[in-house]
Structure 1
Amino acid sequence: MKIAIYGQKFVKKNIPYINQFIGYVSNHSIEIYIEQSFFNVLSSFEEFKNLNFPVFSHYKELLNKDFSLMFTFGGDGTILSAITLIRDSGIPIVGINTGNLGFLASFNKDVFIKKIDQIFNQKLHLIPRSLLWLETSIVNHDLFFFNNFALNEIVIFRKETVSMITIDVYIDNEFLTSYWADGLIISTPTGSTGYSLSCGGPIITPDNKNFVLTPISPHNLFSRPLIIPDTQKVHFKIHSRVKSYSLSLDTRLTYLNKENELYIKKAPFYIYLIQEEKKTYYKTLREKLLWGMDQRN
């Protein structure tokens, strides 16, 4: 079996967890490949200066070597970054939460070693997550190099101005409305607990086949989030007092000229996450959002 390891930041207090993990997989003759940048981060610590594992730096290297799993060490942002390497390969992600919130990185760093046998014996649950797929009216090679898909959300936002932008929205070629706002969030069910939630959007359980459109600080107070089926294609025309607007796909940010129209639909592939139990989402909501907790004291 071959596994990939990915991370971004790393702090000294997490060294014991990595050491236990590397010791386990080495003792079970599991091949380890470490993403190049993360390898460099780990090698900067005295405890890992003698690391001697093969590295990878491009998604094609994952496709060519028949990987069984990718382990990510970090938070949800680490997983969002990791999917640019996973893409449509179907390699499941095991998210080890060494960060803060951890909606996607579901394995707590203190207990994941106890679950390691179950993970490698495939006795846990494989959860598919849908993504958004972006196309533009003007061919933009930089954008597609930038990866035109998102697991959480795609955000259209004003740039270099304090004035609102206007976003005309068409759903399956039928005009919906024009949003006068700072921007607009197009979110998956996975991303409904992210930026969309902070802007008043609804929480959607991951097994739903929907997207949600959530305006950011709309001028019209009757503009509210809208849930639509993920079978529909959404078309956006952007109007602004300046020549360009901001566009983000998960954690990746770029800028487009306002003449560039956007088309968003469901991506033709899924990202697969391994979770401890089949029914953990409601438990995650209670724990991460502190539902039912008495905060008065």
Structure 2
Amino acid sequence: MKIALHGLSLKHEFLKDVRALFKSLENHGFEIFVTQQFDRNLRMHGKTGLKFEVLENPKDMDAMKFLISIGGDGTLLDSVCQVGELETPILGLNTGRLGFLATVSTDKIDEAVEHLATENFQIENRSLVSLKTKRRLFDGLNFGLNEFTIHKRDTSSMITVHTYIDGRYLNSYWADGLIVATPTGSTGYSLSCGGPLISPSAKNFVITPVSPHNLNVRPIIVSDESEISFEIEGRAERFLISLDSRSTSVSSEMKFKIRKEKFFAKLVKLPNYDFFDTLRHKLNWGFDMRN
């Protein structure tokens, strides 16, 4: 059984965990491949005698049974780009910080690999947001697991985002920016801007303004079957748009449409994992901070 490993960086203190992961995968008969990025990370540490092959062609991912993302939530978001429409199931090994998406701790490596080998897991289909423009952006990777964001550049003045739902006018947001988040992304940037938490299985998008200048404006939840379109005004000629952690500068003349992507990000859900347990743990719910 072939398995791919991906990581954006590798700190020295987690090298022992990577060795443990390789050993566990080998003991369970997995054939190990790594992405080119993770190969570069391993080379920085001298490869440490690990045995693997490098995925030289992105199409080779199609032969992989799973992809293990080694890092934090940002690495898992990048892993979704590595997989794309192939929908290879992704498991997140958390060597980062918060870990809403990368949910497997380093002390559970053997247990996680055992579940993969025995197929004792479930697959969660996480919806993606898809960006439609007349110009090719983001090297064709026009989808994101967390959110699409429109934002002013640097210290420039606020922008006005005219927003439409299925062609019907919704609102003009005078703000520093606007976020369209998936249920998965509701625990990210949208949350920090006052957006609601949404269960991963919900079929919604949430539109959240960033520092709105009209204070009666609040986040709004819409169906993920909707098409959301935007027209931008501002004193600056250019502004920023982003899909998850990837951003680019574009002209104010450009128009954008957002829809749900046709394919999903498939996340491996191991036994005893529960989204609401994760919320309580990460956000300290049910914990009396006064004591």
Name the TM-score, length of structure 2 as normaliser. Answer: 0.96
Q: What residue is the counterpart of 1:112 in the other structure?
A: 109
Are 1:266 and 2:266 counterparts?
no
Q: What is the percentage of aligned positions where both structures have the same residue? A: 41
Could you tell which deviates more after superposition, 144-153 or 259-268? Answer: 144-153
Aligned residues: 291
Give the deviation of 1:161 after TM superposition: 4.3
Q: How does 1:1-297 map to 2 (within 5 A)?
A: 1-46=1-46, 48-63=47-62, 66-136=63-133, 139-141=134-136, 143-277=137-271, 280-297=274-291
Query: What amino acid is aligned across from residue 135 of structure 2 in structure 1?
Result: N
Mapped contact 1:73–1:98 kept (Cα < 8 A): yes
Give the deviation of 1:55 after TM superposition: 0.8
Mapped contact 2:28–2:114 kept (Cα < 8 A): no
Alpha carbons of structure 1 residues 13 and 116: separation in structure 2 relative to 1, 3 Å: same
Alpha carbons of structure 1 residues 279 and 39: separation in structure 2 relative to 1, 3 Å: closer
Aligned-CA RMSD value: 1.5
Mapped contact 1:59–1:87 kept (Cα < 8 A): no
Partner of 1:110: helix, strand, or coil? helix
Alpha-carbon distance between aligned partners in 1 of 2:135 and 2:83, rounded to the nearest angstrom: 22
Over residues 33-91 of structure 1, what are the superposed CA-to-partner deviations in whole Å (9 max), with x where a residue is unaligned? Answer: 11112112112224x3434421125532212xx11000111010000011111001021
Could you tell which deviates more after superposition, 26-35 or 216-225? Answer: 26-35
Partner of 2:240: helix, strand, or coil? strand
Give the deviation of 1:27 after TM superposition: 3.0
Over residues 258-286 of structure 1, what are the superposed CA-to-partner deviations in whole Å (9 max), with x where a residue is unaligned? Answer: 11000000000000111223660000000
Give the deviation of 1:146 after TM superposition: 4.9
Alpha-carbon distance between aligned partners in 1 of 2:21 and 2:211, rounded to the nearest angstrom: 45
Alpha carbons of structure 1 residues 115 and 53: separation in structure 2 relative to 1, 3 Å: closer
Alpha-carbon distance between aligned partners in 2 of 1:167 and 1:268, rounded to the nearest angstrom: 26
Give the deviation of 1:219 after TM superposition: 0.6
Partner of 1:111: helix, strand, or coil? helix
Give the deviation of 1:115 after TM superposition: 2.9
Mapped contact 2:138–2:246 kept (Cα < 8 A): no
Alpha-carbon distance between aligned partners in 2 of 1:184 and 1:58, rounded to the nearest angstrom: 36
Mapped contact 1:150–1:250 kept (Cα < 8 A): yes
Alpha-carbon distance between aligned partners in 2 of 1:57 and 1:168, rounded to the nearest angstrom: 43
Query: What amino acid is aligned across from residue 12 of structure 2 in structure 1?
Result: K
Alpha-carbon distance between aligned partners in 2 of 1:206 and 1:129, rounded to the nearest angstrom: 7
Name the TM-score, length of structure 1 as normaliser. Answer: 0.94
Alpha-carbon distance between aligned partners in 1 of 2:57 and 2:73, rounded to the nearest angstrom: 20
Alpha-carbon distance between aligned partners in 2 of 1:240 and 1:226, rounded to the nearest angstrom: 23
| Unaligned segments of structure 1, at least 5 residues | none
Over residues 93-150 of structure 1, what are the superposed CA-to-partner deviations in whole Å (9 max), with x where a residue is unaligned? Answer: 01001111000011111113123211221111111100000011xx323x05151101
Mapped contact 2:180–2:208 kept (Cα < 8 A): yes
| Unaligned segments of structure 2, at least 5 residues | none
Alpha-carbon distance between aligned partners in 2 of 1:161 and 1:40, rounded to the nearest angstrom: 36
Alpha-carbon distance between aligned partners in 2 of 1:99 and 1:161, rounded to the nearest angstrom: 30
Give the deviation of 1:210 after TM superposition: 0.1
